[in-house]
Amino acid sequence: MGLFLLRRLGVMILTALCLTFVVFFLTNLSPNLEKLAKTQGNMRMTDDEVVSWLENRGYDRNVFARYGEWLGVVPGYVVEQPGGFRGRCFGEADEVPPGASTFCGVVQGNWGFSSVFREEVGSIIATRLGLTAKLMGFVMLLMVPAALIIGVLAGMREGSRLDRGLSSVSIVSTATPEYVSGVIFITVFASSAVGLRWFKGTATGAMENATFENFALPVLTIALYGIGYIARMTRASMAEVMTQQYIRTARLKGVSFPKVVLKHALRNALIAPFTVIMLQFPWLLNGVVIVETLFNYKGFGWTLVQAASNNDIELLLAVSVVSVFVVLVTQLISDIGYVWLNPRISVT
């Protein structure tokens, strides 16, 4: 088990390194740097101004050296400019401060500075991830029980009217992307166009104070897609288990149907949905991009959009690292959970 975890950790670090380098390379292509200069300086800067802006901030050097700088294994740049110095590790100063460190990268715990939000990347990620966690928490609370109940009810009697009905519902819900369901929800339940106005069409207020009124629609929009998907998985798995010999034996022994479902079938039927549920976490993390943008809820997905559209290099890198971490950790949990649910499987 220990070796398994260690191996997984190694894979995680390697993946993160590869991915961040790819992101780093792409964000440092010269048109992207020009975009950065213009969004940070003045949108209508001339080409010469862009070049001098980039030089003054150390963007004109080798991409490998700069990646190493970000990692913290290459010394940070120091540029002399009219009226003082500018360095990665100390910002702007008249003189290079004597106490300034040479290395300041991820290894030293410095995740850098977001050029668009003008804030430490670490604190942005913490706030935005917290907000998305709140959204995801409510989504999970709604999605998992609802999906399991629908799946189990549909799968326990394959082909019954209940099965057909619930299956249709879940196919429809999983076939509707968020950008469709979200817009329909807003139109029907939040706008004066239909006039119901039960909920609010924006979740901006929910960041500080989440209420049923302002949080229901985004939560429902995300959950609905997942509910259908997980319910289909649960149903398939449940239907398969219900045809097993031991279920028939239990039935023939005179065990009541509800008892057969709950005691004998459920645990075995949950193995497949469990993986799917764990895979929903990374999916939610980035899948919320649409919903967060639609409802103006400023979480992790929104941050990703902002970072990408403004070519905010260090923020994008941190977002990638977090994503790698979440994907691999949830996979790890799902592997361990597998073992727990099914003793026949072993991680080693």
Partner 1 sequence: MSHSTDRIHPAAKMHATEYQAGKISRREFLTRATALGVSATAAYGLIGAAAPAHAEQHTMDGGTLRIQMEVRALKDPRVTDWPQIANIYRGWLEYLTEYQADGTIRPMLLESYEVSDDATTYTLKLREGITWNNGDAFTAEHVAHNFRRWCEKGVEGNSMASRMGDMVDPDSGTIKEGILDVQDDLTLVINLTSPDIALMASVSDYPGALVHPSYDGGDMTSGAGLIGTGPYTLEDLSVGVKTVLVKNADHQWWGAEAEGFGGASLERIEYIDYGTDPAAWLAAIESEEVDMLYESVGEFIEIMDSLDLVKSETITASTIVIRCNQEAEVNGEKPYADVRVRKALQMAVDNSVLLELGYSGLGEVAENHHVCPIHPEYAEVDNPVVYDPEGAMALLEEAGMADYEHELVSIDDDWRKNTTDACAAQLRDAGIRVNRSILPGNTFWNDWAKFPFSSTDWNQRPLGVQTLSLAYRSGEAWNECAYANPEFDAKLSEAMGIADADERRVIMKEIEQLMIDDGVIIQPYWRSIYRHYTQHVTGAEVHPLYEIPQYKLGLSA
Of 87, 112, 201, 287, the one binding partner 1 by CB under 8 A: 201
Of 119, 162, 164, 177, the one binding partner 1 by CB under 8 A: 119
- Please name the residues in contact with 284: beta carbons below 8 A apart, sequence gap of 6 or more: 136, 139, 222, 226
* CB contact at 8 A, 35 and 26: no
Q: Which stretch binds partner 1 (CB under 8 A): 111-119, 141-149, 172-180, 263-271?
A: 111-119
Residue 114 gets which letter from DSSP? E
**What is the closest distance, in whole angstroms, from the C-beta atom of residue 136 to partner 1 in the complex?**
19
Strand residue runs (E) in 127-179: none
**What is the closest distance, in whole angstroms, from the C-beta atom of residue 243 to partner 1 in the complex?**
49
Question: CA 108 to CA 117: how far, in whole Å?
Answer: 22
Based on the shown chain and the rule CB under 8 A, indicate whether residue 243 belongs to the binding site for partner 1: no
Amino acid at 120: E
* CB contact at 8 A, 268 and 241: yes
Question: CA 218 to CA 297: how far, in whole Å?
Answer: 9
String of contacts with partner 1 for each residue 301-330, x by CB under 8 A:
-x---x--xxx-------------------
Question: CA 143 to CA 170: how far, in whole Å?
Answer: 12
**What is the closest distance, in whole angstroms, from the C-beta atom of residue 316 to partner 1 in the complex?**
14
Of 2, 3, 44, 109, the one binding partner 1 by CB under 8 A: 44
**What is the closest distance, in whole angstroms, from the C-beta atom of residue 42 to partner 1 in the complex?**
2
Based on the shown chain and the rule CB under 8 A, indicate whether residue 209 belongs to the binding site for partner 1: no
The total number of residues written for the chain in this structure: 348
Q: By rule CB under 8 A, what count of residues binds partner 1?
A: 41
Nearer to partner 1, 31 or 343 (CB): 31
- Buried-exposed string 273-303: b where 16+ CB fall within 10 A, e elsewhere: bbbbbbbbbbbbbbbbbbbbbbbebbbbbbb
* CB contact at 8 A, 107 and 73: yes
Q: Provide the 10 A C-beta neighbour count for residue 208.
A: 7
Q: Which stretch binds partner 1 (CB under 8 A): 10-18, 115-123, 142-150, 281-289?
A: 115-123
Nearer to partner 1, 185 or 229 (CB): 185
Q: Give the sign of the dihedral formed by CA 27, CA 32, CA 37, CA 40.
A: negative
Based on the shown chain and the rule CB under 8 A, indicate whether residue 204 belongs to the binding site for partner 1: yes
Based on the shown chain and the rule CB under 8 A, indicate whether residue 95 belongs to the binding site for partner 1: no
Of 95, 99, 118, 161, the one binding partner 1 by CB under 8 A: 118
* CB contact at 8 A, 147 and 234: yes
* CB contact at 8 A, 179 and 163: no
**What is the closest distance, in whole angstroms, from the C-beta atom of residue 134 to partner 1 in the complex?**
15
Q: Which stretch binds partner 1 (CB under 8 A): 114-122, 147-155, 277-285, 321-329?
A: 114-122
What are the residues binding partner 1 (CB under 8 A)? 31, 34-35, 38-39, 41-46, 49, 52-53, 92, 116-119, 186, 190-193, 197, 200-202, 204-205, 207, 214, 293-294, 296, 298, 302, 306, 309-311
